[in-house]
A and B are shown apart, each in its own frame.
Chain A
Amino acid sequence: MFDLINPSKIFLWIEKLINFINSIFFILLIIALTFALILSPPDYLQGDSVRIMYVHVPSAWIGLASFTVIALLSILSFIFKIKNLNLITKSIAPIGLLFTCLAIITGSIWGQPTWGTWWAWDARITSMLVLSIFYVLFILAHKLIEKEDLAIKVSNIIAVIGVINIPVIRYSVDWWNTLHQPSSIKIDGTSSIHPSMMLPLMLMLLVLLLYCALILLMKYKTEIIRIKKKNIKRI
């Protein structure tokens, strides 16, 4: 199964996938923005400020999902000693950091009209801030440690420790009294969000996921070329 991520097997596919995503991205973006900014109704309590949800919620989901994937791949790489998995985790980390920061910033902007404050040391917000610190540590481990094997080991440990924070973020609104509202969308189908808001949310999520895939593929390709460039001298 891991042979599928072998650079020589997927190198040509990367270029094709990048071109495919580029060709559909802007059409989907315009459709998603039309729904998010024009067609979706204002909330009965929050009014039009609810539209911030269409960038805030997908950003938070991507931030959480990226770190979970990094941690899982780090564990797999630790068990099976597959170096390609580390190339993938290294490529995902900046994307995760970007979206975690965006979730915090857009959440702060949403907080001002909703709660009357830009920032509160609330359990959900603080645990998201902790997640962004883990992302920074993970990236710094790769940037500052020159010995590649040691950098991989340190970053894997950071990922495994950091993943403990993911359930804390997820359940922080249930475990503590927080300013942040409880989850409106649940995987078990008991979501309290109206379909007229769910559709733009899912469209924005799709667009941002495509963007993530685009950045991931470009970063992964850069990493492969960097390694091959190093190997030329050895050959």
Chain B
Amino acid sequence: MIQNFISMNGYGTFVWLSFAITFLACGIVYYKTYKTLKKYEKDFAKELNQLSEAERKLVLEKSKVASQFLASYNKSI
């Protein structure tokens, strides 16, 4: 039964190859996207933390996204 499932009545190579290529490509794109996002998050948090107290306050006041980002980033680490 398992052999039948793997061979797919002679079409196994084509079926498994299609599914493997699809999920491998999706996995690679997911990994690369995730890595890039984490790198940007890390760099952005580092830049915000390197600012002086007054500069950071100004940035966080002017940018809602920066303040939301810093709050969620600090929570996640």
A and B found bound together: yes
Q: Say whether A187 faces chain B, with CB atoms less than 8 Å apart.
A: no
Asked whether A235 lies within 8 Å of B59 as measured between CB atoms, the reply is yes
Q: Say whether A112 faces chain B, with CB atoms less than 8 Å apart.
A: yes
Contact-residue size bin, chain B (C-beta under 8 Å from the other chain): 35 or more
Asked whether B66 lies within 8 Å of A228 as measured between CB atoms, the reply is yes
B contacts with A: majority SS? helix
CB within 8 Å: A-B pair count? 109
Q: Say whether B77 faces chain A, with CB atoms less than 8 Å apart.
A: no
Bound Cα distance A228, B62 (Å)? 11
Asked whether A11 lies within 8 Å of B33 as measured between CB atoms, the reply is no
Asked whether A102 lies within 8 Å of B25 as measured between CB atoms, the reply is yes
Neighbouring A residues of B59 by C-beta, 8 Å = 232, 235
Interface size for A (C-beta < 8 A) is 44
Neighbouring B residues of A12 by C-beta, 8 Å = 68, 72
Asked whether A55 lies within 8 Å of B33 as measured between CB atoms, the reply is no
Neighbouring A residues of B18 by C-beta, 8 Å = 52, 55-56, 105-106, 109-110
A window 31-49: CB within 8 A of B: 33, 37-38, 42, 47-49
B window 5-58: CB within 8 A of A: 5, 8-12, 14-15, 17-19, 21-22, 25-26, 29-30, 33-34, 36-37, 40-41, 43-44, 47-48, 51, 58
Which residues of B are interface residues toward A (Cβ below 8 A)?
Answer: 5, 8-12, 14-15, 17-19, 21-22, 25-26, 29-30, 33-34, 36-37, 40-41, 43-44, 47-48, 51, 58-59, 62-66, 68-69, 72
